[in-house]
Amino acid sequence: MQNNIVIIDYGMGNLRSVQKKLNRISTDCTISADPEVIATADKLILPGVGHFANGVKNLKKSGIWDVLNERVKNGQTPILGICLGMQLMANSSEEGNEEGLGWFDAEVKKFSVSDSIRYKVPHMGWNTAVPQKKSPLTDGLDDAFYYFVHSYHMISHNPEDILTSTSYDYEFTSAVSKGHIFGVQFHPEKSHEAGEQLLRNFVNYNPQNAL
C-alpha cells in the first residue's frame, strides 16, 4: 500500500507539529498548499486552528476546496481532519456564515456550559475520548487521553458517524468517522503516546482491510 501523505496548508496553522509527530513515527509526509500536489496524495491530513469561516474562505481561495471534494468524495482518498479540520467537515458552524464541506450531517456549536467557573471556555487540556464504535483509527485506544484546545464542538445528527465522545459539563462528539473520512477534535500531535498511536493507525489504514 502506498503512503504519499500530504498535510494540507491553507493558512490556518498547526502544520509543523503534525509533520514532526509523523516523522517521529518514521512516516514521511509533505506539507503543501498546491492543489496539484494534494490531488496526487494517497492520504490527506487537514489540520487547523482558528475561525471556521476563515478556514472555508482560505480553502476556496487557494483552489483546495474543489480538489478536496473531488479526491475525498469521488476518489475515496482517506483523510484525517484535526480540530478545525474536523469542524470543516460539518454542514455549518455558528462561527461565521460559510457552509462547510458537508461530509458529515453535523453542525458546529460553541460550548454552552452550566458553570463557567468550573468549565472554562475554551476547553483546554487533557480529557478522554471514549470510543462509540469500532474503527481502525482508534484500534487499541480505548478511553485514551488526548489534548484539547477548542471553544466549538461538533453536533452530529447521525449517531452512526460518532467515533468517540468526551465529557466537558456535557457529552460532545470528539471524533467522527464515515468510511475513509475521519475527524478528531483533539490534537493527536500533542497527545504523546496515544496521539502517536492514532496517527500510526491512520498511516497504516487500508480501506480494503477496514473493520
CA distance 199 to 193: 10
pLDDT of residue 50: 93
- Evaluate if residue 13 carries a pLDDT over 90: no
Q: Which of 123, 150, 153, 187 is catalytic?
A: 187
Please give the average per-residue pLDDT across 57-65, as a whole number: 97
- Evaluate if residue 73 carries a pLDDT over 80: yes
- Evaluate if residue 116 carries a pLDDT over 50: yes
CA distance 125 to 152: 15
- Evaluate if residue 122 carries a pLDDT over 60: yes
Q: Which of 83, 95, 123, 150 is catalytic?
A: 83
For residue range 124-138, what is the model confidence (pLDDT) as tens digits?
999 999 999 999 999
Residue 211 pLDDT grade (very low, low, confident, very high; cuts 50, 70, 90)? very low
pLDDT of residue 1: 53
What value does the CA radius of gyration of the chain take, rounded to a whole number of Å? 16
Q: Is 153 a catalytic residue?
A: no
pLDDT of residue 2: 63
Domains of the chain: 5-209 (3.40.50.880)
Please give the average per-residue pLDDT across 92-113, as a whole number: 97
Q: Which of 29, 95, 153, 189 is catalytic?
A: 189
DSSP state, residue 154: E
Single out the residue of 155, 173, 161 nearest to residue 133, CA to CA.
161
Q: Is 189 a catalytic residue?
A: yes
- Evaluate if residue 184 carries a pLDDT over 80: yes
Q: Is 83 a catalytic residue?
A: yes
SS3 content of the chain, % helix, strand, coil (to 5): 30, 30, 40
For the chain, what percent of residues have pLDDT higher than 70? 98
